[in-house]
């Protein structure tokens, strides 16, 4: 018997239509939570208009009753605000699979215009912005904006298959919704279990664990013990650090795998931070035109960013990640225990990415990241605070929702994830190894605030707030020493450049960001990157 499937999301996202389509295709019972509430005698629209708090009380009671009677695994469509109030979302996640249906506000308004009265439609833009962080806490987000009911229903069913294939202990995972290529991102206290690895990889002909020397010393033994549930593994180690993301190392790995008898039925396990994941992923993407792989990230940067979304790459002398491919893993399994062995500087550097996600997601995540500042700046080998798991989960959910909507950066939505990276990557490359990735991203966030104030009228206090956040987590915060003439040269070869313009992420405020094209000359003027005469 399947678990209950709950559909949440903004008004006019298509929850009822998609729910009915899935129920019809699978022979399951369908319930609309609004219909359950209306059965008490008062239409939902009238009740919301008359007394919204009373409606929310009835909605919560109806949800409890529906869950109590959901042993047959029905498909349940909820109202636009159901997941936002009280502990409704937690109740749904505990009872089954929760999928959020995403829709752009203008499309929601267009769909709703010809339908029954919706008392909250007048405040659609504000409501959508407020509710979006909660919707992203579903197990998966499936966009509906430019898709038919049948297409969305198929995508949701693919998510359901991926989720159902997980061991029960891992069903709190985030599912990155990519149709038949959907995959889970798990967060566990310990390292990945053999059961979750077997669910992802099945029975490959051979397995290679690619890792770096530092990670191997701490985490190779438990990883090999888990991989043994899939099959015996061979190990290839690389030197730690960005210098390993080079063609020479890539060629050595490919040649070694071929020499060891690997074939298209083999699999790769990437164990390490962003360098290992990017490099091993590029090997997986290109060896025999693609072999399965899984990511076992061991740094904050990798857990929340680099390991998720299928970007793989090596560097060129001209810049980072200039040669690569999109190749999605079968699984990303994050073990929080691995963060205890991170060197202090690496731990702090991870907060460059976490502050980025806080600026993208909103004030609640900003406060939660701030609650972890003492751990970031504290002594080594301390257990992460409980709040860090929330931060990592929320960051993963944000990235998964964006990638599901724009896997290959074709619609512009995925460009939001480049916040802090356009200038940050240039600073990192120009520093010639003096800065770690997360440190450079933090400086890139300061630059983004400054450019946003000049171009979009963002309040000037935001740069000070970001600077203070970086200082609180032990990160470099003073932009001036890093704005060398070489930085401009590297910005001009940025992958996101469009002619003479940069595709740049502007920050209107915490939780309000947008992508805009800005002339390179304007960026140079604002940051005073003109070469010295």
Rounded to an integer, the average pLDDT of 368-390 is: 91
64-74 tens-digit pLDDT: 999 999 999 99
| Percent of the chain scoring above 90 in pLDDT | 84
C-alpha separations of 289 from 236, 253, 423 in Å: 20, 15, 33
310-360 tens-digit pLDDT: 999 999 988 889 999 999 999 999 999 999 999 999 999 999 999 999 999
**What's the gap between Cα 378 and its chain centre?**
26
Cα radius of gyration (the chain): 24
Residue 412 · residue 506 · CB < 8 Å: no
- What confidence score (pLDDT) does residue 533 get? 40
Q: Is the pLDDT of residue 396 over 80?
A: yes
Beta-bridge partners for 405: none
Is the pLDDT higher at 491 or at 118? 491
User: Helix 437-456 and helix 461-472: axis angle, to 10°?
Assistant: 170
At which residue do the structure tokens 């500042």 appear? 373
How buried is 254 (Cβ within 10 angstroms: 0-12 exposed, 13-18 middle, 19+ buried)?
middle
Structure tokens at 330: 């079968």
Nearest to 87 by CA among 106, 60, 67: 60
Rounded to an integer, the average pLDDT of 239-259 is: 97
- What confidence score (pLDDT) does residue 350 get? 97
Q: Is the pLDDT of residue 394 over 90?
A: yes
At which residue do the structure tokens 């499937």 appear? 5
What's 198-217 look like in SS3?
Answer: HHHHCCCCCEEEEEEHHHHH
312 CB neighbour count, 10 Å cutoff: 26
Of 19-23, 189-193, 410-414, which one has max mean pLDDT?
Answer: 19-23
At which residue do the structure tokens 């979302």 appear? 89
What's the whole-number average pLDDT of the chain?
A: 94
What domains, with CATH codes, occur in the chain?
A: 5-164 (3.40.50.300), 183-342 (3.40.50.1970), 354-527 (1.20.1090.10)
- 278-303: string of b/e by CB count within 10 Å (b at 16+)? bbbbbbbbbbeeebbbbbbbbbbbbb
Q: Which residues are CB-contacts of 297 (< 8 A; sequence separation ≥ 6)?
A: 272, 273, 274, 277, 303, 306, 307, 332, 334, 338
pLDDT class for 58, splitting at 50, 70, 90?
very high
- What confidence score (pLDDT) does residue 532 get? 46
Q: Is the pLDDT of residue 438 over 60?
A: yes
Distance, CA of 530 to CA of 533 (rounded, Å): 9
Full DSSP string of 342-410: S-HHHHHHHHHHHHHHHHHH-HHHHHHHHTTHHHHHS-TTPPPPHHHHHHHHHHHHHHHHHHHH-TTSS
- What confidence score (pLDDT) does residue 121 get? 67
| Percent of the chain scoring above 70 in pLDDT | 97
178-235 tens-digit pLDDT: 999 999 999 999 999 999 999 999 999 999 999 999 999 999 999 999 999 999 999 9
272-320 tens-digit pLDDT: 999 999 999 999 999 999 999 999 999 999 999 999 999 999 999 888 8
Nearest 5°: phi and psi at 62?
A: -65, -40
- The helix/strand count (H/E) of the chain reads as 22, 17
Is the pLDDT higher at 131 or at 114? 131
462-482 tens-digit pLDDT: 999 999 999 999 999 999 999
Rounded to an integer, the average pLDDT of 509-513 is: 96
Distance, CA of 96 to CA of 160 (rounded, Å): 10
Phi-psi label, residue 163: left if phi above 0, alpha if psi -120 to 50, beta otherwise:
alpha
At which residue do the structure tokens 């209306």 appear? 38
Rounded to an integer, the average pLDDT of 248-269 is: 98
Distance, CA of 13 to CA of 105 (rounded, Å): 9
Helix (H, G, I), strand (E, B) or coil at 514: strand
């Amino acid at each position: 018997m399947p678990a209950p499937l709950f559909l949440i999301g903004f008004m006019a996202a298509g929850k009822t239509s998609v729910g009915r389509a899935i129920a019809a295709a699978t022979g399951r019972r369908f319930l609309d939570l609004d219909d359950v509430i209306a059965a008490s005698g008062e239409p939902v629209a009238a009740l919301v208009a008359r007394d919204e708090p009373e409606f929310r009380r009835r909605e919560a009671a109806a949800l409890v009753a529906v869950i109590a009677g959901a042993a047959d695994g029905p498909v349940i469509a909820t109202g636009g605000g159901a997941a936002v109030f009280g502990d409704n979302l937690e109740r749904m996640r505990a009872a089954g699979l929760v999928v959020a249906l995403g829709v752009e506000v203008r499309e929601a308004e267009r769909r709703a215009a010809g339908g029954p009265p919706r008392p909250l439609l007048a405040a659609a833009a504000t409501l959508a912005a407020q509710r979006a962080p909660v919707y992203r806490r579903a197990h998966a987000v499936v966009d509906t904006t430019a898709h038919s009911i049948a297409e969305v229903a198929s995508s949701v069913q693919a998510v359901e298959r991926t989720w159902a294939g997980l061991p029960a202990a891992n069903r709190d995972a985030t599912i990155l919704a990519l149709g038949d290529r959907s995959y889970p991102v798990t967060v566990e206290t310990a390292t990945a279990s053999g059961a979750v690895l077997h669910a992802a990889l099945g029975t490959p002909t051979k397995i290679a664990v690619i890792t770096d020397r530092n990670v191997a010393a701490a985490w190779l033994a438990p990883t090999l013990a888990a991989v043994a549930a899939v099959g015996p593994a061979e190990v290839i180690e690389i030197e730690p650090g960005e210098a390993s993301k080079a063609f020479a190392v890539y060629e050595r790995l490919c040649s070694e795998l071929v020499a060891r008898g690997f074939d298209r039925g083999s699999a790769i396990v990437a164990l390490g931070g962003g360098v290992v994941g990017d490099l091993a992923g590029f090997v997986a993407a290109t060896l025999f035109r693609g072999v399965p792989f899984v990511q076992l990230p061991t740094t904050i940067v990798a857990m929340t960013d680099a390991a998720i979304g299928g970007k793989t790459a090596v560097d060129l002398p001209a810049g980072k990640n200039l040669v690569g491919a999109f190749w999605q893993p079968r699984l990303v399994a994050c073990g929080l225990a691995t963060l205890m062995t991170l060197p202090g500087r690496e731990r702090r550097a991870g907060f460059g990415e976490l502050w980025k996600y806080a600026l993208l997601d909103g004030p609640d995540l900003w406060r939660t990241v701030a609650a972890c500042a003492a751990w970031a700046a504290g002594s080594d080998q301390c257990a992460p605070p409980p709040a860090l798991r929330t931060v990592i989960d929320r960051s993963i959910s944000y990235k998964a929702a964006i990638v599901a909507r724009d896997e290959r950066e074709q619609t512009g939505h995925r460009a939001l994830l480049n916040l802090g990276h356009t200038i940050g990557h240039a600073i990192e490359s120009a520093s010639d190894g003096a800065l770690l990735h997360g440190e450079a991203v933090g400086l890139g966030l300061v630059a983004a605030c400054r450019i946003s104030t000049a171009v979009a009228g963002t309040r000037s206090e935001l740069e000070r707030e970001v600077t203070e956040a970086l200082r609180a987590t032990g990160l470099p915060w003073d932009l001036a020493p890093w704005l060398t003439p070489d930085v401009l040269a590297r910005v001009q070869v940025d992958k996101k450049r469009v002619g003479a313009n940069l595709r740049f992420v502007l920050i209107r405020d915490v939780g309000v960001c947008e992508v805009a094209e800005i002339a390179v000359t304007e960026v140079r003027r604002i940051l005073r990157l003109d070469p010295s005469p």
